[in-house]
Amino acid sequence: MNRPEKRNALDSELTRALHDALRAADADDAVGAVVLTGAGPGFCAGADLAEFKDLQDPASAEDRAELTMQLHLIFSRMRTPVVTAINGAAMGGGAGLAIAGDLAVMAEGAKLGYPEVKHGIVAAIVMANLVRQVGRKAAFELLALGEPIDAHRALQLGLVNFVLPAKSLLEESSKLAEKLAAVSRPAMAETKRLFYEVADLGLEVALVRGRETNRRMRNFDKLGGKK
């Protein structure tokens, strides 16, 4: 995200560009993994509140909400794995993007939070992913108090995978992405698809879905697919 003068705040232009870039990367067989980070000292400040003030008519506000929803949804629909390199403050919608990736690496000095309630609004769209990744008490704390947490608390809560010094964040995130890219493309695509499907299913139904994938991948190998 390259809008450092606004701490990479998400206006419609950046939101659409990011969505389209992720979709294009996923469609490109030469791309084995994606690393998402922010230009400058911050990861993403969330929604551009200045733009929201200009969204006076309901249709424009609805279009903007739909665009935001599609951006946060695309990560789970991509075949290609995404690593988020959280180089600085990730707030509101930016926090939602930070944890939307398949793996997340956070700089030691970075902060993550959902301050919407302090502005009299609700962290509505990003709430869905948050409550799926942490316990209910922790999720409600973040949403209702609006206080940011540091990298080590984020790691403790399971919101990120690794905490690293800022100077090595991108290098280590790229190495992690290279490991993901080295995995068989069909295997990675099926892993992602099944992972996000079973996360919200009951155990028995999830096991059935796993059995179906197991059969499909075994047949893929028998037909000469690459492991």
Q: Do 196 and 97 fall into the same domain?
A: no
Residue-level pLDDT at 223 = 45
In the set 5, 13, 51, 116, the catalytic residue is 116
131: tokens are 């409550």
What sign results for the dihedral spanned by CA atoms 146, 87, 181, 82? positive
Give the count of beta carbons closer than 10 Å to the beta carbon of residue 213.
Answer: 16
Rounded to two decimals, the pTM is 0.90
Range of the domain at 193: 185-222
* Residues 172 and 214 both lie in one domain: no
198 inside domain: yes
Q: Both 28 and 48 in a single domain?
A: yes
Does residue 170 share a domain with residue 214?
A: no
- Domain match, 143 and 207 both: no
If asked whether residues 36 and 107 sit together in one domain, one would say yes
Q: In Å, what is the CA distance from 103 to each residue of 65, 141, 195, 218?
A: 25, 23, 13, 27
Q: Is residue 227 domain-resident?
A: no
Divide the 227 residues of the chain into consecutive groups of 10 and give the mean pLDDT of each group: 96 96 97 98 91 69 88 96 98 97 98 95 93 94 98 98 98 98 95 92 80 75 48
Q: Are residues 72 and 147 in the same domain?
A: yes
Same-domain pairing of 67 and 165: yes
* Residues 196, 91 share a domain: no
Whether residue 47 lies inside any domain: the answer is yes
CATH number of the domain to which 80 belongs: 3.90.226.10
The reply to whether 171 and 191 lie within a common domain is: no
Burial 15-53 (b: 16+ CB within 10 A, else e): beebbeebeebbeeeeebbbbbbbeeebbbbbbbeebee
**Host H or E run for residue 84:** strand 82-86
**Known catalytic membership, residue 147:** no
134 and 153, same domain (yes or no):
yes
